[in-house]
Amino acid sequence: MQITEIYKSLQGESTYAGLPCVFVRLTGCNLRCSWCDSEYTFTGGRKESIDEVLDEVKRLSPGGGLVEITGGEPMLQEREVVPLMERLLHDGYGVLLETSGERPLRNVPAGVVKIVDVKCPDSGERDTFCMNNLATLSARDEVKFVLSSRADYEFACDFTERHGLAQSVNAVLFSPAFRKDATGARDSSHCLLDPQELAEWMIADNVPARLGLQLHKFIWDPAVKGV
C-alpha cells in the first residue's frame, strides 16, 4: 500500500484524545476540503507491504496499544487496508479508522472503531458522505463534523437529529476547523470558528454532541507534521 508516514504521538481527536497512538497515514485523497491540513498526503509516499507496516507498528508500540489508520482517505486502498486492520486486531491492537465515509465501509472489520468525518457545507465537499454507510455504524463508532461557520453548525445539528446519531454511535463530535496555514501560537486563534462561540451555541441548543479540539495543535506548533 502507499504510505505517507508512520509515527507515534498522542491521539488528538475523538473520545480517545490524549492516549498514546501509532498513526499509519496512507497516501491519496479523492476529496479537497477547503481547510484540509493533510494536503501533503495527496501525492508521493512509499510502497510498503502489510508485513512492513506491521513491523513498524510493532517497533513503535510493542505489545499492543492504539493504532489509527488515517490519510488522506485510507479506504481508497481498501484491498490492502482491510487485511491490515484484521492483522492489527488479531495481534491485540485497538484500531481506529479515520475516514470521510465517502467510500463504502461495509468491509471494515467489526472490531475497528470507525471515526467518520461527515463533510459540512463550508468544507466544499458537502454531500460526499455515502448514506448507505449509516447502516454500518455501531455503538463503538464516532461521527465527527468539522465546523467553520454557523451554517456548518446547523447542518451538523440537523444531520445528527435526522439520523438519530446520538442514539446509535458512541459519540458525535463537533470540532472547529483550523486554519490550514496555522503556525506559531498554540491556541484557538487559528480556529476558523471560535470554540467559545461554538460552545455557547451547543449549550444554548442542548446539542447531544461533544465539542472536540485538535489536542496536538495545542501541544505542538500547529504547522509541525508527524505529531
* E-assigned strand segments in 123-165: 142-147
N-term to C-term CA, the chain: 22
47 forms beta bridges with 2
Q: Rounded to the nearest whole angstrom, what is the least distance from the CB of residue 98 to ligand SF4 in the complex?
A: 8
Q: Rounded to the nearest whole angstrom, what is the least distance from the CB of residue 158 to ligand SF4 in the complex?
A: 21
User: Torsion angle of alpha carbons 70, 224, 2, 110, nearest 10°?
Assistant: -10
The owner of cell 482517505 is 73
Closer residue to ligand SF4, CB minimum distance, 29 or 57: 29
Closer residue to ligand SF4, CB minimum distance, 98 or 141: 98
Helix (H) / strand (E) element for 63: namely none
The grid coordinates listed for 8 are: 507515534
Closer residue to ligand SF4, CB minimum distance, 80 or 86: 80
Closer residue to ligand SF4, CB minimum distance, 34 or 49: 34
Residues forming the site for ligand SF4 (CB under 6 A): 29, 31-33, 36, 38, 71-73, 100
Closer residue to ligand SF4, CB minimum distance, 54 or 125: 125
Q: What is the DSSP string of 104-150?
A: --TTS-TTSEEEEEPPPGGGT-TT-S-GGGGGG--TT-EEEEEESSH
Q: Rounded to the nearest whole angstrom, what is the least distance from the CB of residue 94 to ligand SF4 in the complex?
A: 22
The owner of cell 508512520 is 6
Closer residue to ligand SF4, CB minimum distance, 31 or 211: 31
Distance CA 200, CA 58 (A): 43
Q: Rounded to the nearest whole angstrom, what is the least distance from the CB of residue 57 to ligand SF4 in the complex?
A: 21
Q: Rounded to the nearest whole angstrom, what is the least distance from the CB of residue 29 to ligand SF4 in the complex?
A: 3
Q: Rounded to the nearest whole angstrom, what is the least distance from the CB of residue 119 to ligand SF4 in the complex?
A: 7
